[in-house]
């Protein structure tokens, strides 16, 4: 039997916009709690949420934003992020997710790549002062009228909106946007709803590329609304469920699998904090009587390792999703046994596929939940192929390809990269190596690409290498991942210095800080004079990895 599966369902695909979906949820479950944001003391019903969404959407229309315009959102988890997600959808705008860990170099690239017309940003997050960073990047803000920015470096950008109580020169305040709207703006919003189409692009998510620059995966209403729906459908969600979401909203795990999964079933979204905190997450589960929890394995480990873990009452939990990296068997046993998550599911996918294409089921045996990523999702096809593109037999390894409603439109403004990833028959080439068994369960066995997965974050070595090349002492650099007990993988860099140049690991680390995201910083740095190579001169990163593993075993 060939390694091919096609998902079916007795429930059809949803053919509606996200704006229609949230309006229908408010009509059906208006009095039910939709959103709980504990660090902001917010507790809104579906009716409350829709009212705030439409008020903000009308304000965006007042600013001159039109369907198809891009709006960047650069913020940790908060209620404003949720409002922006649904308001942009209601107004037909394309939301651009910006990683909260981005620094100036990455922010500048993203804004320019997709020509953002507006940017919504938090005031601060952890060590990042977003307002100061934007002021440094766009000095014209100091003299610009709010909402009427003109800057040569970002010619499309007109409005910068801060989630802040304090007014800054050139900035609009998030809380003031709704008040800008007049009756014609609300009429325009109302009239837009039947015009917007499910196949319209609605979201751009940046995923690092092997060429060194992030690529903007462009997703439609149809892509992400259905994916969120079927992820929670597989967990048996109803309006009685309450989902704890400590994973970030800028990623598909939070905004698609979490938020859109909830609104399609009338469930409640619970956000413990602006970013993951193990104690805050467990406290939210206990206080809010959450029935489901989403996290990557490193988050589950952090919760289980809390000294007072046993003091939390997790008896209401029943299901959830663990994704982002491979789950160790002992962690899975503890999640099921000690966190009461007997129905925890494993999911696999990628940003370009909205994201999930494979997921375990509630009643799958334990060994399938630790050794595989489950079975095919409804209305999705998967095949595993050899280097010639031919489907292999079950039990044989090959590249994992997927096709269906979930596949992105393409990479924004990059037809060449799109064609390299999606072939002429519509198959998305994931770059992952996999094996399919006789029951259709899939085991991810490796990666064709060199991507590093650190704590659920995808890191492409070339992106880090390209930045390290700008260091004046660096002649050559090779970046790769090595196993790490806490994060799954850590970033390692082997560096060759220019003749006569001198530097050390601390200096390299300091050179990176504030310029590339913290999770991309090389944790292990070695200065070398040569690299292991094949006879044809191809660098062997796997050999570097093996040498590092052996070195750590000796130490």
Tokens of 70: 């891009």
Specify the length of the chain in residues.
Answer: 555
Q: Note the pLDDT of residue 208.
A: 64
Chosen domain end from 431, 447, 463: 447
Residues 256 and 141 reside in one and the same domain: no
Task: Please check whether residues 185 and 254 belong to one and the same domain.
Answer: no
Please determine, for residue 537, whether its predicted confidence score (pLDDT) is greater than 70.
no
> What pTM was estimated for this model as a whole?
0.86
Range of the domain at 171: 44-197
| 379 and 281 share one domain | yes
Question: Is 25 inside any structural domain?
Answer: no
pLDDT of res. 234: 98
What is the tens place of the pLDDT at every residue in 433-471? 899 999 999 998 777 767 788 998 878 787 898 899 899
- What pLDDT does residue 210 have? 38
Stretch among 105-114, 258-267, 302-311, 455-464 having the lowest mean pLDDT: 455-464
- 203 lies in a domain? no
Q: Residue 533 above 90 pLDDT?
A: no
Please compute the mean of the pLDDT values over residues 87-96 and round it to a whole number: 98
Per-residue pLDDT at 325 exceeds 80: no
The mean pLDDT value of the chain amounts to 94
Q: How far apart are the first and last CA of the chain?
A: 47
Chain segment 502-529, per-residue pLDDT in tens: 999 999 999 999 999 999 999 999 999 9
pLDDT at 555 over 80: no
Average pLDDT, stretch 540-547? 88
Contact in structure between 400 and 391 (CB atoms under 8 Å): no
Could you tell me if 246 and 305 lie in one domain?
yes
Residue 534 has pLDDT above 70, yes or no: no
The beta strand positions in 369-523, using DSSP E, are: 375-376, 380-385, 397-404, 410-411, 428-436, 442-447, 452-454, 457-459, 474-484, 488-497
- Percentage of residues of the chain with pLDDT beyond 70: 97
**pLDDT confidence of residue 404:** 98
The per-residue pLDDT for range 470-486, each reduced to its tens digit, is 999 998 899 999 999 89
The verdict on 192 and 50 lying in the same domain is: yes
Q: What does the pLDDT look like over 34-76, one tens digit per residue? A: 999 999 999 999 999 999 999 999 999 999 999 999 999 999 9
Residue 29 placed within a domain: no
- Give yes or no: residues 339 and 468 share one domain: no
In a shared domain, residues 432 and 511: no
Statement to judge: residues 250 and 382 lie in one domain:
yes
What mean pLDDT do residues 111-134 have? Answer: 96
pLDDT at 280 > cutoff 50: yes
CATH number of the domain bearing residue 515 = 3.30.300.30
Residues 342 and 459 in one domain: no
- Higher-scoring residue by pLDDT: 463, 116: 116
Residue 85: predicted pLDDT? 98
**What does 133-172 look like in DSSP terms, one character per residue?**
HHHHH-GGGGGSPTT----SSSTT--EEEEE-SS--TTPE
pLDDT of residue 237: 98
Total count of domains within the chain: 3
Taking the C-alpha atoms of residue 335 and residue 331, their distance in angstroms, rounded to an integer, is 6
């Amino acid at each position: 039997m060939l390694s091919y599966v096609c998902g079916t369902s007795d429930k059809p695909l949803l053919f509606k916009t996200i704006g229609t979906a949230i309006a229908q949820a408010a009509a059906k479950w208006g009095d039910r709690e939709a959103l709980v944001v504990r660090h902001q003391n917010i507790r809104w019903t579906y009716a409350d949420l829709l009212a705030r969404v439409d008020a903000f959407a009308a304000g965006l229309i007042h600013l001159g934003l039109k369907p198809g315009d891009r709006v960047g959102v650069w913020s940790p988890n908060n209620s404003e992020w949720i409002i922006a997600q649904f308001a942009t959808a209601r107004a037909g705008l394309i939301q651009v997710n910006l990683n909260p860990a981005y620094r100036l170099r990455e922010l500048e690239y993203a804004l320019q790549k997709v020509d953002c017309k507006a940017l919504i940003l938090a005031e601060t997050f952890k060590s990042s002062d977003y307002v100061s960073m934007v002021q440094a990047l766009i000095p014209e803000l100091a003299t610009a009228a709010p909402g009427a920015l003109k800057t040569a470096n970002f010619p499309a950008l007109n409005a910068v909106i801060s989630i802040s109580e304090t007014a800054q020169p050139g900035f609009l305040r998030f809380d003031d946007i709704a008040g800008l709207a007049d009756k014609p703006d609300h009429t325009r919003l109302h009239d837009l709803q039947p015009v917007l189409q499910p196949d319209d692009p609605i979201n751009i998510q940046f995923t690092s590329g092997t060429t060194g620059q992030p690529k903007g995966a462009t997703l439609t209403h149809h892509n992400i609304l259905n994916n969120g729906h079927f992820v929670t459908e597989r967990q048996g969600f109803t309006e009685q469920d309450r989902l704890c979401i400590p994973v970030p909203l800028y990623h598909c795990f939070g905004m698609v699998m979490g938020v859109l999964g909830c609104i399609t079933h009338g469930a409640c979204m619970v956000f413990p904090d602006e970013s993951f905190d193990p104690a805050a997450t467990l406290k939210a589960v206990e206080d809010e009587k959450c029935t489901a929890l989403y996290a990557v394995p490193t988050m589950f480990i952090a919760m289980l390792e809390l000294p007072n873990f046993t003091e939390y009452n997790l008896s209401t939990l029943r299901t959830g999703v663990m994704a982002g990296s491979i789950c160790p068997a002992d962690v899975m046993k503890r999640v099921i046994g000690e966190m009461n998550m007997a129905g925890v599911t494993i999911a696999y996918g990628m940003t370009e596929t909205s994201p999930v294409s494979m997921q375990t089921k509630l009643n799958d045996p334990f060994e399938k939940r630790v050794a595989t990523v489950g079975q095919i999702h409804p209305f999705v096809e998967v095949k595993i192929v050899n280097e010639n593109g031919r489907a292999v037999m079950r039990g044989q390894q090959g590249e994992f390809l997927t096709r269906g409603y979930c596949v992105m439109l393409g990479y924004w403004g990059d037809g060449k990269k799109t064609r390299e990833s999606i072939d002429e028959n519509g198959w998305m080439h994931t770059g992952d190596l996999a094996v399919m068994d006789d029951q259709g369960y899939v085991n991810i066995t490796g990666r064709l690409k060199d991507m590093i997965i650190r704590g659920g974050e995808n890191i492409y070595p070339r992106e880090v290498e390209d930045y390290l090349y700008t260091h004046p002492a660096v002649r050559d650099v090779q970046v790769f991942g090595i196993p790490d007990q806490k994060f799954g993988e850590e970033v390692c860099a082997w560096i060759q210095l220019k003749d006569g140049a001198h530097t050390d690991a601390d200096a390299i680390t300091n050179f990176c800080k504030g310029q590339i995201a913290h999770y991309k910083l090389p944790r292990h740095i070695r200065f070398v004079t040569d690299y292991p190579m094949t006879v044809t001169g191809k660098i062997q990163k796997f050999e570097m990895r093996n040498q590092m593993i052996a070195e750590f075993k000796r130490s």
